[in-house]
Every structure is written in C-alpha cells, then in structure tokens.
Amino acid sequence: MHIHLLPLWFFIIQIIPVLGFTDYLLKTCAQSGFCNRHRFYEANIKESKNRYYSVDKSSIEYYKEENTHKYVFKASIIKTIPRPDVNDIKVELPFTLSFFEDLTSLRFTIDEIRTNRLTELLPDFLNTYRYNETWKWAFDSEFNLYNSELTYKESNWLSNDIITIFNEDESLKVELYTNSFLLKVYYDNKLSIVINEEQLLNIEHLRSKEENFQQLLPEESSFNMFGDNFEYSKADSLRFGPESVGLDFSFIGYKNVFGIPEHADSLRLKDTSKTEPYRLFNVDVFEYNVDSKMPTYGTIPLMIAANPTSSIGVFWVNAADTWVDINYKEDKISSHWISENGIVDVVLLFSKSVAGITEQFTTLTGKPQLPLLSAIGYHQCRWNYNDEADVLNVDSEMDKAHIPYDFIWLDIEYADSRQYFTWKPNSFATPKKMLKKLENLGRQLVVLLDPHLKVDYFASDKCIENGVAINDKNNKPYIGHCWPGKAIWIDALNPLGKKIWDGLVTVFVDKVKNLHMWNDMNEPSIFDGPETTAPKDLIHFGGWEHRSVHNIYGLSVHESTYESLKSLKSDRDQRPFLLTRAYYAGSQRSAAVWTGDNVANWDYLRISIPMVLTNNIVGFPFIGADVAGFSGNPEPELLVRWYQAGIWYPFFRAHAHIDSKRREPYLFDEPIKSIVRDLIVLRYALLPTLYTSFYNSYISGSPIMKPMFYEKPEFEEFYDVDDQFYIGDSGLLTKPVVAPEQTTVDMKFAPGIYYDYFTLDHFVIKGNSVIEKTIETPLEKSAVFIEGGHILTRKDRYRRSSQLTKYDAYTLLISPNLNGFANGILYVDDGISFEYQNGQYVVSNFTFQDNKITNKVIHSPDELAYDGNMSISKIIIPIGSGKVKYSNVATVKMNSNKIVVNVSISDDKKSIIINNPSLSIDTDWELIL
C-alpha cells in the first residue's frame, strides 16, 4: 500500500486556524501545463497568422440517423502539421453539428481519431478514447436530444469555401468556413457569434514523447507536456501526454458576459487579458480569496452574453480542469476556453432575452427541483452540535426565543470516528429517539455524508470488495487522507457503486422521516492530494482517468444520494433534501448548494451576493452562503447585516466553524437578538412568496435572487450592478448593507413607484432613466422595497416552523403601480410530497385593476388532497400613490353571490385594510372597492 507523506500544508489546513486562503496550493495558469501552452499559442498564432485546421470537404455527410432519428451534419477537421522535406502529419478530428428540437440552439462536437499504434502502448485498464460522456451527467435524461431537421447548402464565396446550414425554422443559420475551420452563427438574421475567429482552435493530438519534437507547431510550447513540475502534482503520470483542447468564441456586438460559476467575484465577468483566466476546477478552498478568479467548489460552464434585446449562451460541456479568458473589445467580447482533455462539446443557445437562455439551459440540463417547503425556511447548523442533549437544547432555546427554524444540522462529529453511516456511541446513543422528538416538533435533521470512507470499516470494506472505490493509477483502490485519516472514495460514476451507496444510505436512514443529507468534500477534497483534490491519473469506472471526469464527480455523488433518498418513497413519501458542496451543470435537479468556507468578515458578506446571483442566472437558484461567515467570530454589527442579506438567499443557513464561538441567534445580546429574530420571522412570513418563486423556477429555471439587468434588461445602467437584486417575480427589491458603519445605501431605481416594505411609504422615479437614491439604513433596518405593480402573499402569524403555518390564512399585500395596476401569482401544494407532479397543487393569479381585485385560479385539481388553510384573512393596499379609490365598504362577487365587506384605514393612514374578507385562494372571485 502506498504510504503518503503529509506535506506541511496538510498540518496548516488541519490544525492551525489561519485566516485567508493558502494560494500556493493551487496552480496559476502559468504553472498549469496546458493553460500555459494555450496562452502561449494564442500569443503566437495571432502574430503568425498560420492556419493548421481545415475541413475536408470530401468527408461531409448529412443524414438522419436511423435508430435515433437525429439529423446530423458530420465532417472531418484535419489538423495539418507541416514537415520540411517529408509528408505533412495529418490528424483527423471528427466534427458533428446538430440542432435541438424545440430550442433555439445548436450543438457541435470535435473529437480525435487516435491511432492504435499509440493507444496499444497504454495499460489495458485505461480507456483510450477522449472522454465524451459529460453530457450524460449534465443533460436532463428526459430531454429529447437534437431532433430538428437540418438543411444545408454549399457555396463558393470569394476565396472561401462555405457550407451554410439552417435549422428547421431558419431562425438559426450557421456558416462553416472550410478553409480554416470557422463557424459564424446568425440568429434572427444577425451575426451573433463567431467560433474560432481568433484561430485559437488547438487540439493537442496524441503523440509519443519521442516523436513530440516533430509534431509541435512552431507556435506551440512543450511546457509540461509529459510531466508536471508543479510542487504538489509532480507524481502525475500524464500517460496520454498533452491532450488539451482550446477554442475561442466571439460575441458580436455584445458588451456584457456573465456566468461560469463558481468564483468569488463580480457578477459581470471581468476582462482577463492582464490577469489570471477564470478557472473551472472543483476544489476545496478553505477561506477562498474574494475578488478572485481562482476556482472554488463548483462548475457550471455556461457563459451568457446579454444585451437589452438579445442573449447568447455558450455551454462548454467538458468536465476536465478548464480555464476561460475573456477579452472585452470595442464591438465584441472574445472568450477563450481551454480544457485539459476530453472532446470539444459545445451547446450554443440563442434568445431575445437572458431569461430565454436560462429557460433553454434548464430545459436541457433539467429544471431546478421544487424543494420541501421546510427547506426554504431557516437552517441552524454548526460544526458541531455535540450530542443529543445539545441538539434538543438548541431546538428548545430557539422556541423560547420565538425564533422560527425548520432544520438543525449535524456536522462530521456525529459519526463514530468520522465513519459515515454510524453514530458516535456515547454522544448519539439514541438517534432515533432524538429524531422522533424533533419530528414531533415539526423539525428536520441533516447529517453530513462525505464520499470518503475511512479504511477498515464495513462501508469502505464493502466498496473495496465490490470494486467500486476509485482506483489509483495502477488500478488498485486509491487511499488518501481526509477527515477520518486514511480513506477510500466511492466511485459514484460506477452503476454498481451507486447501488452499494444506495444500500448504505437505505440502511442508515432506516425509514426515518425527518433525516436528510449533506454531501460535503465531494470535489473531492483530499488533504494530501495535489491541489487538495484527487490525483488526475486515478481511474474511474469505464477506465476513465479522473482528469476527464473531475468536475462531474461531485454531481455523481449527490445525485446518487438523492436517488437513494427518493427511492425510500414507500417509507417516506417526501422530496429529499440534500446539500452538496461540489456541483456541475445539472446539479440543480437534485441538490441545494452553498458557497463553502467563507469568513466572518465584510468582504465575504459583500461577495456572497454576486456569487449567489451568478448561480441563479445559470439555472441553480437553490444556493446560499454561510450566515454569518463560517470561520471567525462576527461582531454584532456584521451579524445583523449578514442576516439582513441572508434572509434573501434562496438557501438560508447559519453555519460556524468548530473553532468559532457559539452563535445561535438566541445567544445574541439585545437589541441584536430581537433584530435577528424579526428578520427570520420576516423570512417565514414571506415563505408563500418565496415558495412561489421556487415553483416558477421549477417551471422555467428562473432566478430567485435576480440581478437588476435580468429584471430590467432595457437599462444599460444595470448590467454591472451586483449589490442589489429582486426576489423572483415578486417585485421585492433590496440592497443589503455590506460594509461597516453604513447607515445609508445608494440604490438604483428604474422609473416607477416604490414602496418601503416596512412602512409602505412610497416614492416615484419619474422619466425614462435609472436614478440613484440614498436610502437610510440604520442598523435595525435594511433597504427593502416593493416595486409598484406587484401583489405579495404572506402568512403573518409567528410559528415555530414552516410546517406549523399550514392552517394559517394568507395576507395579500397589493402595491399598485402608477396606473393603479398590480398582479401576482401564488403557488400552493402540500410542501412535502411529489403529488404536485400529479396535479395536486393550486396556482392563483391575483390582479388589481380599476379598483377591483380579481382572483383567477389557474390550476386546481378536481379534488385537492392537501387540507391546509386556503383563506385570505387580510388584504393591505397602500394608498399613497393616489391611484386607489375606496370607500368604507367593498363588494365581493363569488359564485354568483354578492357580499359586502368593511374597508378600514390603517392607523398610520398609509394603507387600506380589508380584514377577513371571506375569500379563499382556490376559488375565483372579485372584490370591488
């Protein structure tokens, strides 16, 4: 067995609480062989103007595949390496292009035909193809893959040979220039994106070390092609030598690009010509740097270019270590994508709006799950609650302090010697009893379940016996170090591995209803591994090197856990709740995520907002940051400000490092305790509105924390705003304070009328442009507004948990716009089961117009099994705008009945109130003021 010597930084991570990330653990682009080489190539190819790639016209095929009925365009790209005096070397790179049915999008791939002569030299257990299965993990299995009909025509135009390909309805036109491999895509008759415009297509073909010198292009460097000289990855065998892929995409006429999480950086992506590129490589980055392009825990390789009237998405379907350079130019933005291996597999999405891109992307990769209602309540976590008494004490202290919460969490220490699927005998001697007590109070428990399994206990033994541990480069179970000491890692890419994992989860959960899971450290984090993760030459199921599948490993683990929990349906008919740290495109289907190990300081509070916003626009809205910072001890002011922001995170969890002081909110001194309690109570009051946003997201992929430019794309001023945001379609607009001693914030408003959420005072922004306004934010108050035109739904009564609000009635808050109009949707289901998939839910559409409120039920089943309260106990309408006409009675029309209800004026005279109007959300009615 391989004995690992632990480097110094292992002890730094483990023992000494340091503040700040240890940069030297991660490669820079210059230290990464393939990134370095592609940047080198970029500089040289631009100078030399040489062309090495072209399309072999005689290879073109265009047909409908018989078994799949897919229309495919195929051709061979030829890479030609000129050789003096002898024959040029030609490498064949198969190219395919196809269009997706029902989406305005296309997909193309570039692979490599590898010669047997070279692959035969490699060990038998290795898969010698380029990895081409990332899409199988990323795409939603339900989605019908490309089926649209293609048409194409060849033309000779000037000196270039061009093939023109249309999709079925001709909304997309692709020109393939064969002489130098160039793709131009026209959307809506406008040139939108050019691929390989900068000639950065660079496929490092398979070659032996010996012949490498003959196969290098003059523009290429051979830096670290067959060996890695980075301090922590020198042992990488790099058996395939260089095999990276690079390509450029130019967004024509665009000025803004977004996406490619996860980075602790601005929402609008930055130019990288003079900095590091953005890196996409899932890693454990304790106290990661802020305002940085360094990689963090997750990857969604979707870049979105957005203009007021059009938008493009580039989805780079590759799971290997990836770097992205961005260059803003006068009339376009160029991006350069570089991956360590795998094929080029790209989906291009086109729409008139950025919302259209998110929608199409989540049609392809799956809609975000509709979570348990309780899961969007407040989560109380800490590393660690020590024992059963501690858990139950936190639970009752929360109640005593009237602080609602739904989930309490157990970090690694609940398990016996950090052996997951066990409980620490003395501290958690009767876990089922504890869980039952929590269940009786309507509460849920989450336990941590990492993919590393300590060696020599039943779970790891089982994986080894069944050959489902990730293997080392010699194809023997890999042993590395993580929390339990020496450990193996489950290979969840292996179908049998999933089965074994499923068995372990099923036995552990043992039908308990309120037990949920947290997959942490699944990048995977390996303390003695290179860059704190897996050596790239480990072997997975199918003979694939870890290098090829790195960024989907976390997804494979959490999806496997989700499927196990879901399969317990006969014992617990409920949606699983699962938190993951590592993620990839597609993770939104089954997990929530958080932004990892932040620090209790103002910078991390500030950066949490663009981080959460970015994930929201690329289809993964169920995200939050640790409130109020994982490591360190937040001062009272920071605590308050963090909760003021945190109540808007779609995933709202307080978490703290083992070395930090206890900070459950009931421990805070007054007035901090009351301020924080009121904030959590506010989150609970708004759960109907938030849950409706989750429903919208489940239907269309739409963001829950929504950037300004996304809501108001017509205003150029909003494209670089990432410190204020909307909540779904609710009209709620906020800008959290993210700096100390800041008793005002400057907020940007589009024309319209805005109501202060707390006082219902209003102001009007006139004209046609965005105006900045200073808003008072004393510690106890944050800047929260409702934009006129919206109707919010709340449950105003304090309850200990979301479950206990079931029999409470709704409040409607109607905020008319300057035309006296408002509208809002409410989604209601049982909040627990999958019955919504069988139509067991209600959607109501409330409208306020001409002094009349109307409810139109958009969906309701013939018989609703859910017996929650559907009545409306209060309607509030602010009247400051002068647009609302009212008297002291109003008439309600429902089912051909007419009744009269009283209208009163609030004590502060700012709104009218209709108490107990005898209305319910699941019937049509009209209320005439």
Name the residues that contact ligand NOJ, by CB under 6 A: 383, 411-412, 448, 520, 581, 596-597, 630, 655
168 HSE (CA, 13 A, CB side): 15
Question: In this complex, which beta carbon is closest to ligand NOJ, that of residue 207 or of residue 382?
Answer: 382
Residues with catalytic annotation?
Answer: 520, 523, 597
Element (H, E) at 98: strand 89-99
The CA distance from 298 to 283, in Å, is 8
Question: In this complex, which beta carbon is closest to ligand NOJ, that of residue 595 or of residue 696?
Answer: 595
Q: Supply the minimum distance, in Å, between the C-beta of residue 627 and ligand NOJ.
A: 12
Position with the least CB separation from ligand NOJ: 383
Helix then strand count (H, E) for the chain reads 16, 50
**For the chain, the helix, strand and coil percentages under 3-state DSSP, each to the nearest 5:** 25, 30, 45
For residues 726 and 732, the answer to whether their CB atoms sit within 8 Å is yes
The CA distance from 93 to 105, in Å, is 23
In this structure, is the dihedral angle defined by the CA atoms of residues 23, 29, 31 and 33, taken in order, positive or negative?
A: positive
The CA distance from 634 to 600, in Å, is 5
The CA distance from 675 to 681, in Å, is 10
Question: In this complex, which beta carbon is closest to ligand NOJ, that of residue 423 or of residue 718?
Answer: 423
Question: In this complex, which beta carbon is closest to ligand NOJ, that of residue 146 or of residue 288?
Answer: 288
For residues 585 and 619, the answer to whether their CB atoms sit within 8 Å is yes
Peptide bond between residue 671 and the one before it cis (omega within 30 degrees of 0):
yes
Q: Supply the minimum distance, in Å, between the C-beta of residue 224 and ligand NOJ.
A: 31
Question: In this complex, which beta carbon is closest to ligand NOJ, that of residue 286 or of residue 337?
Answer: 286
Q: Supply the minimum distance, in Å, between the C-beta of residue 630 and ligand NOJ.
A: 6
Question: In this complex, which beta carbon is closest to ligand NOJ, that of residue 383 or of residue 527?
Answer: 383
Q: Write the DSSP symbol of residue 237.
A: -
Question: In this complex, which beta carbon is closest to ligand NOJ, that of residue 277 or of residue 596?
Answer: 596
Burial 262-276 (b: 16+ CB within 10 A, else e): bbbbbbbbeebeeeb
The CA distance from 78 to 645, in Å, is 53
- Residue 815: name the closest of 874, 892, 756, 747 by CA: 756
Q: Supply the minimum distance, in Å, between the C-beta of residue 383 and ligand NOJ.
A: 4
Q: Supply the minimum distance, in Å, between the C-beta of residue 819 and ligand NOJ.
A: 48
Residues 6+ apart with CB under 8 A from 820: 848, 849, 850, 851, 881, 883, 884
For residues 853 and 827, the answer to whether their CB atoms sit within 8 Å is no
Amino acid symbol at 576:
P
Residues 6+ apart with CB under 8 A from 169: none
Q: Supply the minimum distance, in Å, between the C-beta of residue 365 and ligand NOJ.
A: 25
Question: Phi first, then psi: what are they for 254, rounded to 5°?
Answer: -95, 150
- Using only C-alpha atoms, what is the Rg of the chain? 28
Question: In this complex, which beta carbon is closest to ligand NOJ, that of residue 381 or of residue 645?
Answer: 381
Question: In this complex, which beta carbon is closest to ligand NOJ, that of residue 454 or of residue 795?
Answer: 454
The CA distance from 492 to 501, in Å, is 8
Q: Supply the minimum distance, in Å, between the C-beta of residue 354 and ligand NOJ.
A: 31
Q: Supply the minimum distance, in Å, between the C-beta of residue 580 and ligand NOJ.
A: 11
Q: Which residues lie across from 183 on neighbouring strands?
A: 176, 195
Neighbours of 659 (CB within 10 A): 10
> At how many degrees (to 10) do helices 546-567 and 495-509 cross?
40
Q: Supply the minimum distance, in Å, between the C-beta of residue 484 and ligand NOJ.
A: 11
